Amino acid sequence: MRQKSRIKKLITFVMMTLMAAGNILPAQAASRIKDLVVIEGVRENQLIGYGLVVGLNGTGDTLRNAPYTEQSITAMLERLGVNTRGTLQKGENVAAVMVTASLPAFARAGTRLDISVSSIGDAENLRGGTLIVTPLKGADGEVYAVAQGSIQVSGFSAGGTASSVTQGVPTAGRIPNGGIVEKEVRYSMLTKKEIHLSLRNQDFTTSHRIAEAINKKMGTQTAMAIDPATVLVIKPETYTSNMVNLMTDIEQIYVQPDQKAKVVVDERSGIIVIGNEVRVSEVAIAQGNLTIRVSETPQVSQPNPLGGGNTAIVPRTDVEIDDGQGKKFAVLKPGVNLQDLVDGLNALGIGPRDMIAILQALKVSGALHAEIEVM
């Protein structure tokens, strides 16, 4: 009896495990709405400013070649009560830089920002420099943050009279938490009655699936696909909480996004990305090139010491010709999927760059039912 009871419990455990796995698999195959869309109006804002980096060890701007640096130094010192107009400045421990940052959505006054600093003059290296107080402005000309701090530079440059070594970019660096938000960009979701979801990848089917999934979750007609890039979400009258909580519930819904039949080609690097929905009509493919390889392996002829003569170099030339006779036609059956397409092209023994030419030829012939995008 005990044995039967153990077997029964084991069978029950296995069945429950399989059922749980069956419930997990669709979620793994799909993606959260949170990862498929962005909320309209919730975005970053780009900030920019002009500043000076001081404390450089002779690697700053040459004031003769960068007059704006000298003018900036003079103006800065005047604001601090030091008059240097009419004097000749020769120091190379200051560099003019452009300062950039991204102001996150809902950032409040006092929030810290990461700052990027890039030289705009002829400075050689920003290592060891300190950015002095720099206002950061938005597209509207208003100051939203202030940056200051020591610069972290990952690249370096070293050398002497005959040679030099440079790794990375020593004229650009970062200041972690080097900016402080001074002005907020006001945007509130609490009082909103509706909101727009913008798809990261525009697609009619995906936007429709998102709207259906939201309506199924809420039990009412809450969402509607307006176009392939936008889904309108209206707060239900029966929903007692605010829009923030509604978006929290919606973001965790899983949706299976649809894909276009697309082939992305980067001819410079030879990278090819083929979508899973790419289909090919029945077609025969052959690829072969005439390759002539000439290699020189000269040998030294050493005469017999007793017989006299001179040491001479004897040329040896080896010529190899590959006319592609070993390569045959490969037939791709109609409606083949991604795996069949790759296997068929690999059967020809070709490289990525030749595969790019074949894919473009398939598109011209009308056998490739997909869009080709060349980067």
Question: Are 118 and 234 in the same domain?
Answer: no
Question: Are 287 and 342 in the same domain?
Answer: yes
Question: Are 232 and 296 in the same domain?
Answer: no
Which helix (H) or strand (E) element contains residue 285? strand 283-285
3-class DSSP state for residue 193? coil
Taking each continuous run of H as one helix and of E as one strand, the counts in the chain are 7, 25
Give residue-wise pLDDT tens across range 189-222: 888 889 999 999 889 999 999 999 999 998 889 9
Domain that residue 365 falls in: 263-303+314-374
Q: Are 285 and 348 in contact (CB under 8 A)?
A: yes
Distance CA(261)–CA(206), nearest Å, equals 14
Question: Are 138 and 208 in the same domain?
Answer: no
Domain count, the chain: 3
Domain membership flag for residue 309: no
Question: Are 349 and 239 in the same domain?
Answer: no
Distance CA(188)–CA(191), nearest Å, equals 7
Token readout for 195 is 């909101």
Question: Are 280 and 353 in the same domain?
Answer: yes
Question: Are 239 and 269 in the same domain?
Answer: no
Token readout for 78 is 């005047």
Domain membership flag for residue 26: no
Domain membership flag for residue 27: no
Token readout for 316 is 């040896």
47 Cβ partners below 8 Å, 6+ apart? 100, 101, 102, 103, 136, 137, 138, 144, 145, 179
Instruction: State the greatest distance between any 2 C-alpha atoms of the chain, in Å, as a whole number.
Output: 112
Q: Residues of 47-67 as b/e, b for ≥16 C-beta within 10 angstroms?
A: bebebbbbbbeebbbebeebe
3-class DSSP state for residue 261? coil
Question: Are 370 and 270 in the same domain?
Answer: yes
85 Cβ partners below 8 Å, 6+ apart? 74, 78
Angstrom distances, CA of residue 174 to CA of 113, 123, 131, 243:
11, 16, 10, 37
Question: Are 240 and 284 in the same domain?
Answer: no
Mean pLDDT of 301-306: 66
Strand partners, 317: 296
Domain membership flag for residue 8: no
Domain membership flag for residue 22: no
Full-prediction pTM beyond 0.85? no
Q: Is the pLDDT of residue 333 over 70?
A: no
From the centroid of its chain, how far is CA 125? 27
Give residue-wise pLDDT tens across range 167-184: 678 899 999 999 999 998
Q: State percent of the chain over pLDDT 90.
A: 31
Q: What is the mean pLDDT of the chain?
A: 79
Task: Give the closest residue to 179 by CA, choosing from 227, 235, 131, 247.
Answer: 131
Distance CA(231)–CA(196), nearest Å, equals 6
Domain membership flag for residue 234: yes
Domain membership flag for residue 228: yes
Question: Are 240 and 273 in the same domain?
Answer: no
More confident residue, 332 or 235: 235
Task: Give the closest residue to 213 by CA, choosing from 345, 26, 45, 18.
Answer: 26
Q: Is the pLDDT of residue 265 over 90?
A: no
Question: Are 77 and 141 in the same domain?
Answer: yes
**Predicted local confidence at residue 28, as pLDDT:** 44
Question: Are 113 and 75 in the same domain?
Answer: yes
Give residue-wise pLDDT tens across range 127-148: 989 999 999 999 999 999 999 9
Domain membership flag for residue 118: yes
Q: Is the pLDDT of residue 52 over 70?
A: yes
